[in-house]
Amino acid sequence: NAGVTQTPKFRVLKTGQSMTLLCAQDMNHEYMYWYRQDPGMGLRLIHYSVGEGTTAKGEVPDGYNVSRLKKQNFLLGLESAAPSQTSVYFCASSYSGTATNEKLFFGSGTQLSVL
């Protein structure tokens, strides 16, 4: 049971470089999310998707782009990395987002450092 898989687990970038984080889920979930975790701030939503081909902005979308070309995959892109994007990134998924008891299933996280 793979669940939610994120790659890579660690990455170091220089300011201005670009990269893509990949999230894959094998649970046939409709909803997928990207969060960032920073000390003292909990998890903040970057972007989310309610189904294949759809994306929407969350609380902190600036500097990030996403794509959901296939239902099982949700990509997070950084076009020009900045030190403020140093963080731990989590992908999550849920079967739907319309029921209040829908919990999130998380990937193992990506530690990103931007120098």
Q: Which is nearer to other proteins, 1 or 101 (CB)?
A: 101
Instruction: Show contacts with other proteins in window 42-61 (CB under 8 A).
Output: 42-45, 48, 50, 56, 58
Q: What is the dihedral of CA 54, 12, 40, 31, to 10 degrees?
A: 20
Q: Per this entry, what is the length of the chain?
A: 115
- Least distance to other proteins, CB of residue 52, Å: 14
Number of Cβ within a 10 Å radius of residue 34: 28
Q: Which segment (15-23, 30-38, 62-70, 77-85) binds other proteins by CB under 8 A?
A: 30-38
Rounded Cα distance between 113 and 54, Å, is 28
Binding window for other proteins (CB under 8 A); candidates: 11-19, 60-68, 69-77, 101-109: 101-109
Q: In whole angstroms, what is the distance from residue 75 CA to residue 96 CA?
A: 19
Measured between alpha carbons, how far is 37 from 59 in angstroms, rounded to an integer?
12
Q: Applying CB under 8 A, what is the total number of residues that bind other proteins?
A: 29
Binding site for other proteins (CB under 8 A): 31, 33, 35, 40-45, 48, 50, 56, 58, 88, 90, 92, 94, 96-98, 100-106, 108-109
